[in-house]
Chain A
């Protein structure tokens, strides 16, 4: 049920993205945080270790990232808002449990502060190589919500949003930050007062409670263990009671609802910010740290009299498909700016479907994309 909480008044501060993520989690009402040390996400868990005990909430350092994600799901089943934070290697380890949270529809927030990879890569360098892993990292067909902040204040706001979406849609939400945004310090004025959403709890008699009832709309209420609703949770295909089933007539409607709750609510879930896209001949598509370079390049190009706009993806998955299709009709083309080999670009090409040209500025060696390299791509377009 949505409630607005009052955040303490504060003057402008100079703070880091990771710190803002921690503040966002606190503002969203986090009750449980589990993690394993990893660069460049440590500042988040350190802030949690400092802040949560004093609030009577739980912080625990687990034995690895698999255990961290499992503990988060367990705590969420106990009724708390729960999250973990990690980076590439740890994110890889979490994938099986993320799929479990998708299938069992247990709200959870996974913060991945991306670093350069694959493998150990470069822990202190930024990159955006986990975009497709965030989408498809766990096995099997599944929907997912992924958000991507590009500034310190967005780190705060999108973390609150990640919790809200997780609770509202009973799903894991991935906050896909990156080392640049996570470690960058910026001056931030007062954080916005945001609506805070908590999961719907059942009000029916336990006899009539079905945690996966497809007839209750997209998102059936979720009871916490110990609240008097004794039910079963399993990663196997399950019926509306949560018991394993092999009946196609029970599996299919569940699958349909699982996808529909995300794909049918993109108006609510998908968030973009646009600058100058209406008049633009060239639309830059970017997100996270790379969007900062794209925006800078857009301004430089505008000074040269070029009609360039920016479509910044705050929600990475699902993509704003309809909007991209519209822009493919109004603009001449897209330049996708991202710190990987073109993980979002492939989807932009699919959505442009030949109606608009798609180019990319890509860099994945741990260095930032410079505004001048984006400007060069604009000039050569």
Chain B
């Protein structure tokens, strides 16, 4: 185990923050390990990584990690991360959420983050339950499963996190489990490297609440279930793992910076229009930029460029 120590020394707030709040057998520690090894693969500068989390067991993850870390409110981590990333585009922003945090209270922010496609990495630890509050059903609790708030079995249809992310427009969608630690590490690195909104769902175990109520009272049984019921191939009756979506979608930050460029250009042109005496000749890039515009206002601007250009 000696070779593992550098991870602890380099990436964990090992002196200050332990032991963790997680129960024995919890999968979140395995996910935290996967995230750190994934980050280590990419050799990112710790000062340039921000970890944003919501509320719940998963929300407690960043406190142990030696990056810029913020533990926000329930469900809103993606909205905080959106502001942070737009304010500081140089940061690699990784958002850690549980299934309840991301898909119930934060469901609206989740689909809009997928749609907007800002360069964030969302890692959703799905343990099918609200562990922090004692084991109530979540939007991913399977039909018929028991929870403290569904003692007669759950009748709410569950979400498929990855299908939802895909339909909402995420650029990258992948799934793994706590059993597949090596795969997790690789997928974390890929998700972080992807330019655009990347979603990685990690199926994780909550033996203490979900497991006990559903005849899988140990972490080993639950992880064996992940082993036996998932596949990297499309197999009937098995949950698909691996990369499900990897597509090129315009990234929001890039699009915003383009908008800034054209807004400044148009402002320059407006100002030049106001005082023709100080007009400078339009550069070729300005002429090209306005050619692609189609609105009436832009046509007017294009005309102005043309006129000034001839001078």
Contact = CB atoms under 8 A, between A and B. Distances in A.
Interface of A: 31-32, 34, 53-54, 56, 58, 60, 62-64, 66-68, 70-80, 82, 96-97, 100, 224-228, 230-236, 241, 243-244
A226 B48 contact: yes
Contact of A71 (B47, B83, B266): B83
A140 to B, nearest CB: 13
B84 A225 contact: yes
Given A53-B263, A73-B72, 16 more contacts: A54-B266, A70-B79, A74-B83, A75-B86, A78-B85, A78-B87, A225-B68, A225-B88, A226-B47, A226-B48, A230-B47, A230-B68, A232-B63, A232-B70, A232-B71, A244-B71
Contact of B70 (A31, A62, A77): A77
Contacts of A100: 72-73
A67 B76 contact: yes
A70 B81 CA distance: 8
B69 interface: yes
Interface residues of B, number: 40
A246 to B, nearest CB: 11
Contact of B79 (A56, A62, A80, A244): A62
A100 B259 CA distance: 31
B88 A226 contact: yes
The 6 closest A-B pairs by CB, nearest first: A78-B87, A74-B83, A71-B83, A70-B79, A53-B263, A75-B83
A53 B260 contact: yes
7 contacts: A53-B264, A71-B83, A73-B83, A77-B84, A78-B86, A227-B47, A228-B47
B79 A67 contact: yes
A80 B46 CA distance: 21
Contacts of A31: 87
A42 B16 CA distance: 47
A32 B46 contact: no
A234 B88 contact: no
Contacts of A79: 87-88
Given A58-B256, A70-B72, A230 B46 contact: yes
A244 to B, nearest CB: 7
Contacts of A73: 72, 80, 83
A97 B16 contact: no
Main secondary structure of the interface of B (DSSP, over half): helix
Contacts of B67: 230
A234 B80 contact: no
A74 B69 CA distance: 11
A60 B264 CA distance: 17
Contacts of B63: 232, 234, 243-244
Nearest to A228: B47
A243 B47 CA distance: 18
A233 B72 CA distance: 8
A227 B45 CA distance: 12
B82 A67 contact: yes
A309 B277 CA distance: 54
Contact of B66 (A58, A226, A230, A236): A230
Contact of B82 (A62, A228, A234, A235): A62
A235 B68 contact: no
A66 B106 CA distance: 10
Given A32-B86, A70-B79, A231 B267 contact: no
B137 to A, nearest CB: 23
A72 B90 CA distance: 18
B112 A53 contact: no
A39 B84 CA distance: 27
B84 A75 contact: yes
Given A63-B109, A231-B68, A233-B71, A58 B86 contact: yes
A245 B89 CA distance: 31
Contacts of B109: 63, 67
B200 to A, nearest CB: 21
Of B50, B81, B84, B85, chain A has the most CB atoms within 10 Å of the CB of B84
